[in-house]
Structure 1
Amino acid sequence: MSTIAINMFVSLDGVAQAPGGPKEDVDGDFGHGGWTVPYFTEQVGDIVGPWHASAGALLLGRRTYDIFAAYWPHVPDGHEEAPMAKILNNVPKYVASRSKPSLTWENSSLLDGDVPAAVAELKRQDLGEVVVVGSLDLAQTLIANDLVDEYRLTVFPVVLGTGKRLFGDGAVPSGLELVSARTTDSGVVGCVYRPVGKPGYGSFEL
């Protein structure tokens, strides 16, 4: 059996859209692209790097796939990111897309047909950790279909007010167990959560 882990950058108000640059995702006239950059330090890299490096496979949406495929195959030997490039280039990469793109990055394949069913089939295989990086629309589909085993959230100290949120309408109600948390000097917090079933309820009423 495999596990599905979502690696996601989120703002304090839950926005996960276009963390890396102004043109990354402008849906809805989103004007805050690149909001993680002022806070991204070596300490942040020390948190998220191992999360990526643990991947037995990558599960990506088309937009994130194109960004990664334009960069990681071209990292030269000897570059400081070469060890990470070797991992990401070698692992299987599964891409969810409504179109039929030409997947030029080595070890890439398209998820055909129904994405939740295809991901459920991946979970039945022995792939280890199947890591979702970015790929917000895909992540929301996985959340809505209760397919996520672990959330690795890098929370940035910024409120954006608008934009696509990781946990939007249709998210399956779930209680979460905090597995670990690390903080950085720039105010970023890296948290790992695992679903533990339905949320509990109570009352403080007298």
Structure 2
Amino acid sequence: MGKVVVVENVTLDGVMQAPGGADEDARGGFPYGGWAHPYADRVMAEAMGKGMSEDSGMLFGRRTYEQFHAFWSKQTDGNPYTEVLNRKRKYVASRTLAGPLPWENSSLLPGDAADAVAALKRGVEGDLVVLGSGELVRSLARAGLVDVYTLSIHPLTLGTGTKLFAEGEQAYGTLELVEALPTTTGVIIATYRSIA
């Protein structure tokens, strides 16, 4: 049986919106896109590279899938990520996309995302890694389908923006810290396992 592993960049106040670039996600007038870049270092690159090298599939919501495909599938600078991302099996939860999907090794999940991911977990071995895809993460958390959270917790607060866990929603359960790795820039890469 597979495991759902959520991998996210978050601020101390829980914001996950647009860590990668100014124009990544400006919904709601979010002015801080690209906030994670100043904190990148060798420790973080090695930790994320290790995770990408493992035999796993990927789960995406529509918005994140389209952004990743638009950028990573076209990189030709010899970076280590493009080949890995192209090769990995990608599953996309979307109510608006229709197949076939444009990025190689991509499959559209039919119907309700939580139901489709629950069925997928039963039918695969290894991890199903979710990057970004906040709406998908929250729906999987509500359904009790997230097994592991790997959070790169950045030492800043933004005070606005989409949060990993929305305010006013039900409790998602109890987590157990299984690893904490500090970086040279003050980011803590914390891995939590769902236990209830």
TM-score norm. by structure 1 comes to: 0.88
Q: Which residue of 1 aligns with 2:181?
A: 182
Q: Which residue of 1 aligns with 2:193?
A: 194
Q: Aligned runs of 1:79-94 on 2, under 5 Å?
A: 79-81=78-80, 84-94=81-91
Instruction: Give 1:101 deviation, angstroms.
Output: 4.5
Q: Which residue of 2 aligns with 1:31?
A: 31
Instruction: Give 1:42 deviation, angstroms.
Output: 2.3
Q: How high is the sequence identity, in percent, across the aligned residues?
A: 43
Larger mean Cα displacement after TM superposition, 133-142 or 94-103? 94-103
Q: Aligned runs of 1:118-133 on 2, under 5 Å?
A: 118-133=116-131
Larger Cα-atom Rg: 1
RMSD: 1.6
Q: 1:175 to 1:64 in 2, by over 3 A?
A: same
Which structure 2 residue ranges, 5 or more long, are not aligned? none
Instruction: Give 1:75 deviation, angstroms.
Output: 3.5
Q: Which amino acid aligns with 2:195?
A: V
Equivalent residue of 2:83, what SS?
helix
Equivalent residue of 1:74, what SS?
coil
Equivalent residue of 2:97, what SS?
coil
Equivalent residue of 1:64, what SS?
helix
The answer to whether structure 1 residue 105 and structure 2 residue 80 are counterparts is no
Aligned structure 1 segments of 4 or more residues deviating by more than 4 angstroms: none
Equivalent residue of 1:44, what SS?
helix
Instruction: Give distance in 2, aligned partners of 1:97 and 1:39.
Output: 31
Q: Which residue of 2 aligns with 1:204?
A: none
TM-score norm. by structure 2 comes to: 0.92
